[in-house]
């Protein structure tokens, strides 16, 4: 697992699996852990990484409810969980879904965990109004809606560090992925909403893949808008972004084609 400091108050760790990112953000005596790495040893070492950097983690935030992002409680079992209202609704509507998907993943890859995934009791989960703000130490994080990949989601803007943590958007390794309850038009709207933040960003942390500088993130945003517009117009014939045309990306594209056709 890789850990990179983007700012004295922002550290990003990247999982060896799917390059899933987890962002630690601090203000004064309080730090939050946004999303999570995937593998058990990475989750085990995360508290010491935070401690060494003097980040006192007092809460977890989720960009969305996909199982690969929600494992922070393995690292910080007592931390309260903050989620966008859309994610709170998804967790209510699909109880146990993340746990089932995690079990299937662990079965397939022979991964052993110290115990079942706990997303905690409802009273330790706070539904955050999005768009909105979330206090941390003496400062505030900005929360922006980010749906389309899934039906839920938020992007977190860290104003004093000029870092955008955007969840499963703007990935240098993955094309836009319209999952089961996602929507290509909502995805496009999210990209347009994120554009002004990307423009001000020193760093953009995608849900999967390396941290981007603002210029690179803006280029990916342009490619992703072009891909989605072509997907809506031409379906299967839409060209994939040049650097993201592997077999795995073509499979995601085929899935997207089916979703867009089903949505019409």
Segment contacting Zn ion (CB under 5 A): 161-169, 218-226, 234-242, 246-254? 161-169
- Beta carbons of 122 and 80 less than 8 angstroms apart: no
By C-beta, is 139 or 149 nearer to Zn ion?
Answer: 149
Can residue 207 be called a binding residue for Zn ion (CB under 5 A)? Answer: yes
Sign of the Cα torsion 155, 17, 173, 2 reads positive
For Zn ion, how many residues bind (rule: CB under 5 A)? 4
By C-beta, is 105 or 160 nearer to Zn ion?
Answer: 105
Residues 67-126 that bind Zn ion (CB under 5 A): 68
Sorted by sequence, the CB contacts under 8 Å of residue 79 that are 6+ apart come out as 33, 57, 58, 59, 60, 72, 73
By C-beta, is 168 or 223 nearer to Zn ion?
Answer: 168
Residue ranges with strand state E in the chain = 2-7, 10-14, 21-27, 30-34, 57-61, 81-84, 125-128, 132-136, 139-145, 154-158, 163-167, 203-206, 212-213
By C-beta, is 59 or 153 nearer to Zn ion?
Answer: 153
Shortest distance (Å) from residue 8 CB to Zn ion = 27
Can residue 168 be called a binding residue for Zn ion (CB under 5 A)? Answer: yes
Distance set, CA 164 to CA 93, 119, 212, 217, 252 (Å): 28, 25, 10, 10, 25
Segment contacting Zn ion (CB under 5 A): 40-48, 49-57, 59-67, 101-109? 59-67
Segment contacting Zn ion (CB under 5 A): 41-49, 109-117, 120-128, 160-168? 160-168
Helix, strand, coil shares of the chain as percentages rounded to 5? 40, 25, 35
Segment contacting Zn ion (CB under 5 A): 43-51, 113-121, 172-180, 202-210? 202-210
By C-beta, is 38 or 201 nearer to Zn ion?
Answer: 38
Shortest distance (Å) from residue 241 CB to Zn ion = 18
By C-beta, is 37 or 207 nearer to Zn ion?
Answer: 207
Shortest distance (Å) from residue 168 CB to Zn ion = 5
By C-beta, is 20 or 125 nearer to Zn ion?
Answer: 20
Can residue 209 be called a binding residue for Zn ion (CB under 5 A)? Answer: no
Distance set, CA 137 to CA 7, 25, 29, 129, 141 (Å): 16, 10, 6, 19, 10
Shortest distance (Å) from residue 177 CB to Zn ion = 8
Q: Which two tokens stand for residue 218?
A: 């803006």
The helix/strand/coil state of 29 is: coil
Distance set, CA 103 to CA 16, 39, 68, 214 (Å): 18, 13, 11, 36
Shortest distance (Å) from residue 67 CB to Zn ion = 9
Q: Which residues bind Zn ion (CB under 5 A)?
A: 66, 68, 168, 207
């Amino acid at each position: 697992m890789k850990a990179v400091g983007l700012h004295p108050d922002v550290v990003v760790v990247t999982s060896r699996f799917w390059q899933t990112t987890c962002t630690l953000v601090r203000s004064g005596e309080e730090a939050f852990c946004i999303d999570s790495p995937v593998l058990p040893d990475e989750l085990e070492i995360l508290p010491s990484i935070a401690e060494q950097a003097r980040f006192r983690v007092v809460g977890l935030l989720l960009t969305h409810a996909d199982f690969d992002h929600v494992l922070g409680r393995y690292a910080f079992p007592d931390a309260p969980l903050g989620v966008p209202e859309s994610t709170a609704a998804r967790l209510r509507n699909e109880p146990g879904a993340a746990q089932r998907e995690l079990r299937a993943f662990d079965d397939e890859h022979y991964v052993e965990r110290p115990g079942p995934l706990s997303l905690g009791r409802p009273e330790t989960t706070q539904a955050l109004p999005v768009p909105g703000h979330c206090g941390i130490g003496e400062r505030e994080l900005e929360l922006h809606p980010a749906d389309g990949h899934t039906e839920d989601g938020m992007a977190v803007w860290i104003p004093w560090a000029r870092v955008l943590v955007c969840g499963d958007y703007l990935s240098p390794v993955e094309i836009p992925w319209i999952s089961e309850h996602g929507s290509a038009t909502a995805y496009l709207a999210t990209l347009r909403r994120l554009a002004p933040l990307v423009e001000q960003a020193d760093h953009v942390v995608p849900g999967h893949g390396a941290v981007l500088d603002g210029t690179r993130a803006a280029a990916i945003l342009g490619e992703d808008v072009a891909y989605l517009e072509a997907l809506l117009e031409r379906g299967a014939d839409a060209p994939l972004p040049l650097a993201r045309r592997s077999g795995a990306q073509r499979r995601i594209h085929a899935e997207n084609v089916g979703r867009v056709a089903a949505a019409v």
